[in-house]
Amino acid sequence: MSCLLNGVPVEALWNTGAQVSILSKSWLSKNRSSTELRNIEELLGEEAELNLRAGNGGIIPFIGWVEAQFQLASDTHSSVPLTVPILIARDELEHPVIGYNVIEETIKDRTQVQGESDGAVIDIMNAAFRELTVESVNALVDFVRYPAEEYLCVLRSSKNNITVPHTRTDRYGSMSC
């Protein structure tokens, strides 16, 4: 997707499965050397531990986080950037990764806070997500604005790795978590 991070135009990857956004240290150094690298304990507290894993299971080592201004590139004239925390990876990344939570907040901010119509938001999203079809963008905006609560639930797990199958039903045929 096309976006701006601290005013710098960038092509970023949007990861619907990630609740964190990540930049590489080299990208930060090259594009915003004055941005203060902060300690992860500021976000999580002293006792908290954060272990990031890529989709392939590999560990993503990070060195801290920064506060950044995020905007969709197609939305620079009419909106205020969102301030978001972004983790800084030690290793090189081909593109910055934007987590689902940032896009979710972008959509909610435009529709719920600024009162824009779904059509205006969809136009902005279509311009930023050039590789998606109009139908996919419509579905994304609908999903964020009107989540199907019957499909959402609280999931608790142990510290061990677990796999939740894509369909799981109880003996009565209802979905369960």
Q: What is the CATH number of the domain that holds 89?
A: 2.40.70.10
Count of structural domains within the chain: 1
**Residue 90 domain flag:** yes
**Residue 77 domain flag:** yes
Mean pLDDT confidence for 64-84: 81
* Parent domain of 36: 2-151
Residue of higher predicted confidence among 4 and 78? 4
**Residue 25 domain flag:** yes
What's the rounded Cα separation, in Å, for the pair 116 and 31?
32
* pLDDT on residue 152: 58
pTM above 0.85, yes or no: no
**Residue 173 domain flag:** no
Does residue 172 have a pLDDT over 50?
Answer: no
With 0-12 / 13-18 / 19 or more C-beta atoms within 10 angstroms meaning exposed / middle / buried, residue 102 is buried
**Residue 33 domain flag:** yes
Mean pLDDT confidence for 126-132: 82
